[in-house]
Structure 1
Amino acid sequence: MLILVTLVVFLLMEGVTWLTHKYIMHGFGWFLHEDHHEPGYPHVFEKNDAFFIVFAIPSIALFYFGTYTEHTYLFFIGLGILCYGIAYFMVHDVLIHQRFSWFKRTNNWYLKGLRKAHKIHHKNMGKEDSQCFGMLFVPFKYFKAYKK
């Protein structure tokens, strides 16, 4: 049952990510996210990386309270957030933006579709009029060209 809690939280995090990306990162948090939309940003770290810390804080707190109280389920909610954070990092920073030299030559239709949707998101360099705010679940039209 607790593994199911982790899985459900993992899936719900995509919705949290979409809402956060659209209304916070492209809203009042644009001052942190803006450098992420600049082409060829030359630094190892971006101001946008602060959002990893923002998302880590609830996960850490849930691990703590789920370990040191009788509410064990809190630990597994934190685990779902952590697992989503790892998946987000692998897809967004490693696969799409290639901040690390791993998986540069993937031929997987799903990963290619994610990459294409994110390129469409970055096509607009400004705060307004962007699309494709999700990370792991994007509209099917981005997979059509790669589906076998």
Structure 2
Amino acid sequence: MHWATGLLLFLATVIGMEGFAYVAHRWVMHGVGWFLHASHHRPRHGNWEWNDLYAVIFAVPSFALIFGGLQLGWWPGFVWIGYGIAAYGAIYFGFHDVIVHKRLNHRYLPKSAYMKRIIQAHRLHHVVETKRGTVSFGFLWAPKPEDLKAELKRRDRAGVRAPVERSETPAA
């Protein structure tokens, strides 16, 4: 397979994975797979949460396609598709786990309008702690935060997390 064709397959896969991720997040993770994803909508204690198993689950097709294409004589395009799935996973990890949820320490502050919008949209997704009623299921594309806030208000803020109690006593 010509490298340019492979590169097009790779890019199409990365872009297509956003659609797949939206569907999986909205109808699987917030549906039958809530038993794993619920841990992600609660405060995390420790380094891991049950939701992290989704990374393993979604890595299996990537690994299988790369392995099959390289070692089992499958169509060479499967290698590029597998790489595209893996690249989306890496982008997802960097954005979602590192930048938004700060699972690795960093001092990054978003400056671009895009990064501010996507981070705010994801935080608005997390104000709802229940299986239903949340907004914004994409990871690399999201509606305007104003639209998401309006939708939460329209739903009468059903499932929205109660404010965290803060201590009024000053630190010594």
TM-score by length of structure 2 reads 0.79
Q: Relative contact order (alpha carbons < 8 A, sep ≥ 6): 1 or 2 greater?
A: 1
Change (3 A) 1:70 1:53: closer
The answer to whether residue 105 in structure 2 is matched with residue 101 in structure 1 is yes
What runs of 5+ residues in structure 2 fail to find an aligned partner? Answer: 147-172
Q: Are 1:94 and 1:103, in contact at CA under 8 Å, matched by a contact in 2?
A: no
The answer to whether residue 71 in structure 2 is matched with residue 63 in structure 1 is no
Q: For 1:78 and 1:104, how far apart are their aligned partners in 2?
A: 30
- Cα deviation 1:112-139 (Å, max 9, x = unaligned): 1111000110111100111100000111
Q: For 1:105 and 1:14, how far apart are their aligned partners in 2?
A: 24
Match of 2:49 among 46, 50, 53: 46
Greater gyration radius = 2
What runs of 5+ residues in structure 1 fail to find an aligned partner? Answer: 144-148
Indicate the larger mover: 6-15 or 63-72.
Answer: 63-72
Match of 1:33 among 25, 37, 40: 37
- 1:1-148 equivalences under 5 Å are 1-38=5-42, 40-68=43-71, 69-139=73-143, 141-142=144-145
Q: For 1:105 and 1:97, how far apart are their aligned partners in 2?
A: 13
Change (3 A) 1:126 1:74: same
Q: Are 1:98 and 1:104, in contact at CA under 8 Å, matched by a contact in 2?
A: no
User: How many residues in Structure 1 have an aligned counterpart in Structure 2?
Assistant: 141
Structure 1 or 2: more helix by fraction: 1
User: Aligned-pair RMSD on alpha carbons?
Assistant: 1.3
2:62 alignment partner AA: S
Misfit runs of 4+, over 3 Å: none
Change (3 A) 1:64 1:3: same
Q: For 2:102 and 2:62, how far apart are their aligned partners in 1?
A: 25
